[in-house]
Amino acid sequence: MNKPIKVAQQAAVSKTNHADRIRSVVSPMGIEAWLVEDYTVPIIAVEGLIDGGTSQDPTDRPGLLHCLMGTLDEGAGPYDSTAFQERLDDFAIELSFGADRDHASFHLRTLSRHRDEAFDMLRLALTEARLDPDAIERVRAQVLAGLRHESTDPDVMAHRAWFATAFPQHPYGRSSKGTLESVPEISRADLERTREALLNRTKLHLVVVGAIDPDTLARVLDDVFAPLPAHSGSRLVALTAPVAIGTRKVVDLDVPQASIRFGAAGLARTDPDFVAATVVNHILGGGVFSSRLFREVREKRGLAYSVSSHLAPFAHGPLHMGGTSTKNERAAESIGIIEQEIRSLAQDGPSEQELATAKNFLIGSYALRLDTSAKLASQLVHIKAHGLGRSYLDERNGLVAGVSLDDAVRTAKRLYGAGELLTVVVGRPVGL
Amino acid sequence: MPHTAATPSSERPSLVPGVKIAHHTLANGMDVVVIPDHRTPVVTHMVWYRNGSADDPVGQSGIAHFLEHLMFKGTAKHPQGEFSDIVTELGGEENAFTSMDYTAYYQRVAREHLGTMMEMEADRMKGLVLTDDVVIPERDVVMEERRMRTETDPGAQLSESIAAALYAHHPYGTPIIGWMHEIEQLGRQEALAYYHRFYTPENAILVIAGDVTSEDVLALAEKTYGTISALGEPPKRKRPQEPELRGAKKVTLADPKVEQPSLQRSFLVPSATTANAGESEAIEVMIQILAGGQTSVLHRQLVVEKTIAVAAGGWYHSTSLDRTRMLIYAVPNADVTLDALELAMDQAIADFIANGITEKELARAKTRLIADAFYAQDSQSAMARMYGSALATGASIEDVTHWPDAIDAVTADDVMKATRWLDSRTSVTGFLIKDEAA
């Protein structure tokens, strides 16, 4: 299907100089943040990650960290929940907290004229959250309502079943938000313990983008983050790999369309072939209108609206994953085509043309991921958390350009092996 | 040279200063809007057509959206896949979306590729080629999209039923994606008829945001879109309007998959386009105080004080050509019935109307709404969408630029007058409950 295209076959890798724009600011107390100083729009965006995510939840308390992060903005310091939220709105401060399997996270956005108030609200939430009993009960009720709602959502069911099957003995197999059984058991003491263990400044990664100068930021860093503990109480999480690869699991739900998740072990972010794997994944199921899965599953056969794949470089067990939704009668056909495409990519690798197109896309589109303060801050904080340097934004397109056909062929074999997958289907698929 | 003079966005100082928007009209009637953003060397290129699902012919629901899918099937000059392949080669992102009032196509690329995007987008305004070989599988894709969004989700099914009840006569009561039994009947001829009626330069708005100057954009626009002949006059959007219906309606959807019940209430209200001066802004502030986020009246009373809900809120969809919707919702805590929750919600609204609002509440709501205009400036695609959707629903550049000032001018009295739209006689209440019998 790939036609020759009348545009440059090799994207120019222009010499950008992001590294000059990204400063490392270190406070007197030794707290570091990357800063991109920019006054075009009078706002400041802050992204923070702390290593040690929901995989740190005790075996009998899945959902604990998620619950804690949800309670941080429900009252802190002198403000009860209502007063805290009113103060955020009075200054139009956007502050939110989250957690994934490997990190706790926070996101702050403020108009620069409300900078001091905004940073102080972040400080209060991180270091002086009150964890009032009524706030805990409110968050617990919200989490439980969410879990009840998701318990019959086909996509969420497929995601949870996939991880539970792939990681039966590992924290990755448990629901990050906990369960209807575990969340009612969470106590204030549990929340305090997990806060003490996980919210610290030694495993903190910080990026600030916008209208603030380095000296002011250095002062702010000490004000906001110095009160956090200087040690992490996170436990070692074992390296793992998904099991049950090569099997299919069907979860019954009375819906006309089957929700499908597939995946297997992937490559770590630090793997020398990771960039090549990014290119290979793009060829299989990245992008919107160009991947093999898009063409074979959607465009040619009309089997699905959405079909895609991605790399999930979890710290303790990297994966490659993907999914689609297709009517029950044609679910088996869709899965067959996906498996066939993965096997074929593993055996033969991509064509020269596919490789060139994917590289051109990944190189050219990188700037599109950096065109708002929040997007730039989010990209940078993950780069920082992965241990890549400030020069990575400049190096990255050169790394993609350097992926040869040999690299892609080798990496496709490493990534997909014999094409074995764990596939989970939620619905009433016919013929599976 | 451009055929019309630039309209400076305004000489009046605005509460949200910053970008200077340029607006021109080509000789063939196509609007051109340029929004500068020089922080990153990228550009967002969008073409908006002033037609959406509310313009679907009777019996052909979903045709606007189906055609949006089919617009990716190629032209004589650029056969199927070529446009998307080139966007990919150039490292661009692209997509399209259909609403009730408009259909829009966009690409985001490095600025030097803008001309290529404009040439190809202009080409498919007139040059679409459709064969059954591509139309039939794409119709299957749309049916899978409907299954994914609606047929597997009881909440989405309730929303459809509420809209159908709220709009007894106007096509806003029909889902954008269409009803399944009508999607099944859509084909090449229906798509092309709709295409020829609406895809004309005088019905289109070009919105470009990014690292470009309006001079460069206009020169490119003249060379590409400017060469397309006007149809003669813009297509008319003739939609039957809602009668004055009286009587609160209630829709209950019971499904065995509902593990978490919820309730919502939709009201028929003026849009920014149909409202009297200042009225839409007053509704915006009113719904922000009543139902916007965790400081709202509903959240405070139902979630924090009475703890009978785990969530409560609402929104007002102001950007709409005809009369639009305002919606409030609440999710009950465990062991609270929807009847009890509805009573508490009614009480909260009655108290809100009886007690009025404080200056603090008014100031807080305005601060929150006006800040959104600042935050939008951080995203060129958000800016492009804001201006594109406003123009496609009958607003002017001025309306958008001065929206923050109009919000700031809303008084407590205006807000209290706007509470008249919380009238249950023009509302539909929806209950989502578990079907215990199944």
DSSP string for residues in A285-308: H-SSS-SHHIIIIIITT---S-EE
* 8 A C-beta contact, residue A76 and residue A122: no
Give buried/exposed letters for A67-99 (b at 16+ CB in 10 A, else e). bbbbbbbbbbbebbbbebbbbbbbbbbbbebbb
**Triad A380, A386, A387: Cα angle to 5°:** 95
Q: Which of B262, B267, B339, B329 is nearest to B299 (CA)?
A: B329
Please judge whether A360 and B88 are an interchain contact, meaning their C-beta atoms are less than 8 angstroms apart: yes
Out of A253, A288, A290, name the one closest to residue B95 (CB).
A288
Residue of chain B whose Cα is closest to the Cα of A357: B89
User: What does B154-215 look like in DSSP terms, one character per residue?
Assistant: HHHHHHHHHHHHH-SSSGGGS-TT--HHHHTT--HHHHHHHHHHH-SGGGEEEEEEES--HH
C-alpha–C-alpha distance, residues A141 and B38, integer Å:
46
Q: Which of B312, B269, B285 is nearest to B424 (CA)?
A: B269
Nearest-10 crossing angle of helices B188-198, B132-146: 90
Per CB-CB distance under 8 Å, the chain A contacts of B150 are none
Nearest CA to CA, how far is B226 from chain A (Å)? 24
pLDDT at position B410 is 98
* 8 A C-beta contact, residue A197 and residue A233: yes
Say if residue A427's pLDDT is above 80: yes
Out of A142, A144, A256, name the one closest to residue B152 (CB).
A256
User: What does A2-62 look like in DSSP terms, one character per residue?
Assistant: PPP-SS-SS-------HHHHEEEEE-TT--EEEEEE--SSSEEEEEEEEE--GGGS-TT-T
Nearest CA to CA, how far is B262 from chain A (Å)? 10
Q: Which of B201, B69, B39 is nearest to B130 (CA)?
A: B69
Block residue for tokens 């297997």: A264
Per CB-CB distance under 8 Å, the chain B contacts of A41 are 18, 374, 377-378
Block residue for tokens 């509704």: B283
Please judge whether A301 and B137 are an interchain contact, meaning their C-beta atoms are less than 8 angstroms apart: yes
C-alpha–C-alpha distance, residues A393 and A388, integer Å:
9
Per CB-CB distance under 8 Å, the chain B contacts of A43 are 374-375, 377-378
* 8 A C-beta contact, residue A197 and residue A65: no
pLDDT at position B18 is 66
Q: In what order do the strands lie in the sheet with B103-110?
A: B22-25, B31-36, B204-210, B42-49, B103-110, B93-98
* 8 A C-beta contact, residue A138 and residue B303: yes
| Burial classification of residue B233, based on how many CB atoms lie within 10 Å of its CB (0-12 exposed, 13-18 middle, 19 or more buried) | exposed
**Triad B127, B206, A12: Cα angle to 5°:** 80
Residues 360-399 of B with CB under 8 A from A: 363-364, 367-368, 370-371, 374-375, 377-380
Q: In what order do the strands lie in the sheet with B427-434?
A: B249-255, B427-434, B262-269, B324-332, B309-316
Helices vs strands, H then E, count in chain B: 16, 11
In chain A, what is the greatest distance between 2 CA atoms, to the nearest angstrom?
66
pLDDT at position B164 is 97
* DSSP classification of residue B399: H
Out of A89, A145, A373, name the one closest to residue B260 (CB).
A145
Out of A149, A300, A306, name the one closest to residue B148 (CB).
A306
Residue A167 CB contacts under 8 Å (≥ 6 apart), including other chains: A173, A240, A242, A243, A317
Please judge whether A137 and B110 are an interchain contact, meaning their C-beta atoms are less than 8 angstroms apart: no
Residue A96 CB contacts under 8 Å (≥ 6 apart), including other chains: A73, A106, A107
C-alpha–C-alpha distance, residues B217 and B114, integer Å:
9
Please judge whether B140 and A302 are an interchain contact, meaning their C-beta atoms are less than 8 angstroms apart: yes
C-alpha–C-alpha distance, residues A326 and A335, integer Å:
10
Backbone φ and ψ of A3, nearest 5°:
-90, 150
Q: Which of A358, A88, A258, A2 is nearest to B293 (CA)?
A: A88
Nearest CA to CA, how far is B430 from chain A (Å)? 17
Q: Which of B138, B124, B145 is nearest to B186 (CA)?
A: B138
Residue-wise pLDDT tens digits, B79-131: 998 999 999 999 999 999 999 999 999 999 999 999 999 999 999 999 999 99
pLDDT at position A14 is 54
Q: Per residue, what are the HEC states of A136-157?
A: HHHHHHHHHHHHHHHCCCHHHH
C-alpha–C-alpha distance, residues A160 and A165, integer Å:
9
Q: Work out the mean pLDDT of chain A and round it to a whole number.
A: 94
* 8 A C-beta contact, residue B249 and residue B429: yes
pLDDT at position B17 is 66
Token readout for A329 is 């009668």
* 8 A C-beta contact, residue A256 and residue A327: yes
pLDDT at position A9 is 45
Residue A331 CB contacts under 8 Å (≥ 6 apart), including other chains: A258, A260, A425, A427, A429, A430, A431, A432
Please judge whether B293 and A364 are an interchain contact, meaning their C-beta atoms are less than 8 angstroms apart: no
Q: Which of B295, B303, B367 to mutate to test the interface with A (most CBs of A within 10 A)?
A: B295
Residue of chain A whose Cα is closest to the Cα of B93: A365
Per CB-CB distance under 8 Å, the chain A contacts of B364 are 86, 89-90
C-alpha–C-alpha distance, residues A310 and A275, integer Å:
13
Residues 417-436 of B with CB under 8 A from A: none
Known catalytic residues of B are: 68
Token readout for B108 is 């985001």
* 8 A C-beta contact, residue B299 and residue B293: yes
* 8 A C-beta contact, residue A85 and residue B293: yes
Please judge whether A371 and B334 are an interchain contact, meaning their C-beta atoms are less than 8 angstroms apart: no
Per CB-CB distance under 8 Å, the chain B contacts of A290 are 84-85, 88
Token readout for B85 is 């392949």
Residue of chain A whose Cα is closest to the Cα of B332: A145
Q: Which of A10, A15, A16, A41 to mutate to test the interface with B (most CBs of B within 10 A)?
A: A41
C-alpha–C-alpha distance, residues B56 and B41, integer Å:
39
C-alpha–C-alpha distance, residues B394 and B129, integer Å:
31
Residue B193 CB contacts under 8 Å (≥ 6 apart), including other chains: none
C-alpha–C-alpha distance, residues A383 and A367, integer Å:
15
Per CB-CB distance under 8 Å, the chain B contacts of A89 are 293-295, 364, 367-368
Please judge whether A41 and B378 are an interchain contact, meaning their C-beta atoms are less than 8 angstroms apart: yes
pLDDT at position B11 is 40
pLDDT at position B4 is 34
Nearest CA to CA, how far is B240 from chain A (Å)? 32
Nearest CA to CA, how far is B431 from chain A (Å)? 15
Residue of chain B whose Cα is closest to the Cα of A373: B378
Nearest-10 crossing angle of helices A352-364, B82-89: 60
Share of chain A above pLDDT 90, in %: 93
**Triad B121, B122, B128: Cα angle to 5°:** 80
Residue of chain B whose Cα is closest to the Cα of A255: B152
> With a cut of 70, which residues of chain B have pLDDT below it?
1-18
Q: How confident is the model at residue A33 (pLDDT cuts 50, 70, 90)?
A: very high
Token readout for A213 is 């100068």
Please judge whether B293 and A89 are an interchain contact, meaning their C-beta atoms are less than 8 angstroms apart: yes
User: Helix (H, G, I), strand (E, B), or coil: what is residue A426?
Assistant: strand
* 8 A C-beta contact, residue A327 and residue A428: no
Nearest CA to CA, how far is A241 from chain B (Å)? 31
Q: Which of B199, B170, B182, B107 is nearest to B142 (CA)?
A: B182
Give buried/exposed letters for A143-166 (b at 16+ CB in 10 A, else e). bbbbbbbbebbbbbbbbbbbbbbb
Nearest CA to CA, how far is A218 from chain B (Å)? 24
Please judge whether A7 and B86 are an interchain contact, meaning their C-beta atoms are less than 8 angstroms apart: yes
C-alpha–C-alpha distance, residues A402 and B44, integer Å:
28
* 8 A C-beta contact, residue B45 and residue B107: yes
Q: Which of B31, B4, B9 is nearest to B21 (CA)?
A: B9
pLDDT at position B16 is 64
| Burial classification of residue A320, based on how many CB atoms lie within 10 Å of its CB (0-12 exposed, 13-18 middle, 19 or more buried) | buried
Residue of chain A whose Cα is closest to the Cα of B210: A371
Q: How confident is the model at residue A13 (pLDDT cuts 50, 70, 90)?
A: low
* 8 A C-beta contact, residue A36 and residue A224: no
